[in-house]
Amino acid sequence: MKEEIWSILSRVDVGRVLRDEPMARHTTWRIGGPADVLVLPEEQDQIRRLMALVGERGWPWLVIGKGSNLLVRDGGIRGVVVKLADNWSQMELEGTTLVAQSGRLIVSAANHAIHWGLAGLEFATGIPGSVGGAVRMNAGAHGGEIKDVLTWADLVFPDGSLIRKSNDELGFGYRTSRVAEWGALVVRAAFGLAPGDTAEMMSRVKAWTQRRRQTQPLAQASAGSVFRNPVNHYAARLIEEAGLKGRRVGGAQISPVHANFIVNLGGATAGDVLALIHLAQEEVYRKFAVRLMPEVRIVGEDVETGG
């Protein structure tokens, strides 16, 4: 399959095409085996052309942004990886509506909104991913979520069609939306904002940032929060009370700073991270009868099994 994909995409205008690309270069954990083919489109027509080919040929595919919420297994990813990051990150203001391409960092969009005196996206300064990823998972922080401010999102479907979906149509829930269910790819999103006081917003964001620096291992390679917070619980507190804070497997460690972060100390493999994820799930369930569900996306194949 890899040869077929490479042969076709290397001859079609879909953007830059890379073969056997190490995903460790494209994730904030700095972990991951090779993608068969990784594509970086720069134009909407290239995205639509690529997705039409993917749908027509039945190739497996995955879209990524900055790779901030992603664990790629050590065997890598079969099929096509579509990367929408700096290659797809333009942004514009239409009145009080901020429209951003999906590869834009949501932090960057939020900071621009604050600079322009527009309120509503401040919470997103605590989210380390792209606009597309934030929409797909209804990302949230500091009491706010994407669903609170999103007006519409443009999606490309596997047949290459471009369809605009409203907030209601996207079916937002806790860290979820219908984007994955539809098998679609977010290319653009619009956020309805309101006039605000830049100085006041900056003051709040500064306080949040200082607290994150004190309570999160921001200087180490991670993927942010590993687990969703269970109902009426905090994942970090459960993991800490299970006695796992600081536990290490290979080059990966449950952070001594924040127990819902697993950090790459250097040379960690996806297998190391998965071992800690499973350990946390088992111990928390054994001690508290609470099931921890990963918030990070776990994709790709194991080296040993190829599956």
SS3 (DSSP) at 215: helix
- How far apart CA 283 and CA 268 sit, in angstroms, is 22
Structural contact between residues 208 and 265, judged by C-beta atoms closer than 8 angstroms: no
Q: Which pLDDT does position 182 carry in this prediction?
A: 94
> How many residues are present in the chain?
307
Q: Once rounded to an integer, what is the mean pLDDT over residues 119-126?
A: 95
Nearest to residue 131, comparing CAs of 56, 93, 188? 188
pLDDT on residue 186: 98
First CA to last CA distance, the chain = 15
Backbone angles phi, psi at 172, to 5 degrees: -65, 140
Question: At 49, phi and psi to the nearest 5?
Answer: -65, -45
Taking only the tens place, the pLDDT of each residue in 155-208 is 999 999 999 999 999 999 988 999 989 999 999 999 999 999 999 999 999 999
List the structure tokens of 53. 């080919």
DSSP secondary structure string for all residues of 201-270: HHHHHHHHHHHHHHHS-TTSB--S--BPPPTTS-HHHHHHHTT-TT-EETTEEE-SS-TT-EEE-SS--H
Residue 3 contacts by C-beta under 8 Å, 6 or more apart in sequence? none
Known active-site residue 295:
yes
Distance CA 93, CA 116 (A): 9
Which of 19, 175, 228, 297 is catalytic? The answer is 175
Supply the pLDDT for residue 307.
43
Q: Where are the domains of the chain?
A: 1-83, 91-201, 217-299
Q: What is 91-201's CATH topology?
A: 3.30.465
Output the pLDDT for position 159: 93
| 37, 17 Cβ separation under 8 angstroms | yes
* CA distances in angstroms from 139 to 100, 164, 176, 251, listed in the order given: 16, 20, 8, 28
Q: What is the mean pLDDT of residues 128-152?
A: 94
CB 22 within 8 A of CB 34: yes
**Fold assignment, 217-299:** 3.90.78
Mean residue pLDDT of the chain comes to 95
Average pLDDT over residues 259-267: 97
Q: What is the rounded distance in angstroms from the CA atom of residue 108 to the CA atom of residue 125?
A: 8
Q: Please say whether the beta carbons of 248 and 293 come within 8 A.
A: no
> What pLDDT, on the 0 to 100 scale, is given for residue 304?
61
Rounded CA-CA distance 146/193 in Å is 12
Pick the range with the lowest mean pLDDT from 138-142, 244-248, 284-288, 297-301.
138-142
pLDDT for 73-109, tens place per residue? Answer: 999 999 999 999 999 999 999 999 999 999 999 999 9
Is the CATH number of domain 1-83 3.30.43.10?
yes
Q: Does residue 175 carry a catalytic annotation?
A: yes
Instruction: From the candidates 68, 102, 130, 225, give the one annotated as an active-site residue.
Output: 225
Identify the pLDDT of residue 306: 45
Residue 251 CA to residue 273 CA, distance in Å, equals: 9
pTM greater than the 0.85 cutoff: yes
CB–CB of 129/184 below 8 Å? no
